[in-house]
Amino acid sequence: MTKKRVLITGGAGFLGSHLCDRFLAERCHVIAMDNLITGSLENIEHLFHREDFEFYHHDVSKFVHVSGDLDYILHFASPASPIDYLKIPIQTLKVGSLGTHNLLGLAKAKGARMLIASTSEVYGDPLVHPQTEEYWGNVNPVGPRGVYDEAKRFQEAMTMAYHTYHGLETRIVRIFNTFGPRMRLDDGRVLPAFIGQALRGEDLTAFGDGSQTRSFCYVDDLIEGIYRLLMSDCVDPVNIGNPDEITINQFAEEIIKLTGSQSKIIYKPLPKDDPMQRQPNITKAKEVLGWEPKYSRNEGLKPTLEYFQNKVK
Ligand code: UDP
């Protein structure tokens, strides 16, 4: 039987590299593509010896060529932390818009099924809680997060248009906060920031008064949800995330306890448009995909902490 051929953009990133592992485990031939602006070869170093793995150093905002057949394309290339997309706003807009258009064109040419990585950021600072897929969101297009949020909203619209107009097979996953090994220690997101600070004995920087909430999903659960969505026939967006919601203050305390650190919590100004609450409603994922998270935050934090301990050393 010939292997399914899968293109994973952002393949050297946090989620992209875990997807490479998963599709190789499913006996697919994996082509990872990344411009390495926020991704790292370290995340896929263990795959280069394999004959069923290829890596292309390429920016998908430019024309994308892949020779041979493709069965699936998973578009995961994008800066994904608020610090990153503040630093590189134009690239963030381009990879979500031009990059998505290029890949949809490629999917159409190859007759491939395309899955795009969307985000809970499409809900902005949500006025509906928890967030269901039916909620249209509360996004500031010209605020600092606009470059990411609007690129992702455009990406969803473009993907849906290729589905309705060209009959392309498409899937849209709305990813909520996810954590695990291979996150970048310096990407500015709350989990690497807190773990890094705790391990170095520095104080943990909570933004605002720390009362804002997030709901953190362990990466293995997320990858399973994405895989199931790709294999399903669900064209409408599906939330994948862990509904276990906590405040940033509680999260800081958890990290201090877990690391056995003497660090205290200190407070810094809340970044503009920082969502006050976020929790996925995963009813649809349960019903359509038979999926729900299996790992508690505490179970996921163990391997994550081990990973960061090696990095901080
Ligand atoms: N945050 C914080 N301290 C940090 C980094 C982030 O208190 O050092 C807060 C941030 O203001 C936000 C939450 O943690 O309310 C999650 O931030 P993150 O950047 O991880 O992702 P977001 O969910 O905002 O996209």
148 is annotated as an active-site residue: yes
Residue type (1 letter), 222: L
pLDDT digits (tens, 9 = 90+) for 85-116: 999 999 999 999 999 999 999 999 999 999 99
Class of domain 5-181+218-242+279-294: alpha beta
Residue nearest atom 18 of ligand 1, based on CA coordinates:
189
259 lines ligand 1 (CB under 6 A): no
Q: In angstroms, what is the span from residue 51 Cα to ligand 1's centroid?
A: 39
Catalytic residue among 72, 85, 123, 148: 148
Could you tell me the pTM of the whole model? 0.97
141, with CB counted inside 10 A (0-12, 13-18, 19+), is exposed
Q: Which of 186, 187, 190 to mutate to test the pocket of ligand 1 (most atoms within 8 A of CB)?
A: 190
Question: For atom 16 of ligand 1, which residue has the closest CA?
Answer: 190
* C-beta 207 within 6 A of ligand 1: yes
Q: Which residues of 31-57 are buried (b: 16+ CB within 10 A; e: fewer)?
A: bbbbbebbbeeebbeebeeeeebbbbe
Q: Higher pLDDT residue, 293 or 186?
A: 293
What is the domain partition of the chain in residue ranges?
Answer: 5-181+218-242+279-294
Q: What is the pLDDT of residues 132-179, one digit of tens each?
A: 999 999 999 999 999 999 999 999 999 999 999 999 999 999 999 999
* Helix (H/G/I), strand (E/B), else coil: 182: coil
Give the closest residue (by CA) to ligand 1 atom 1.
190
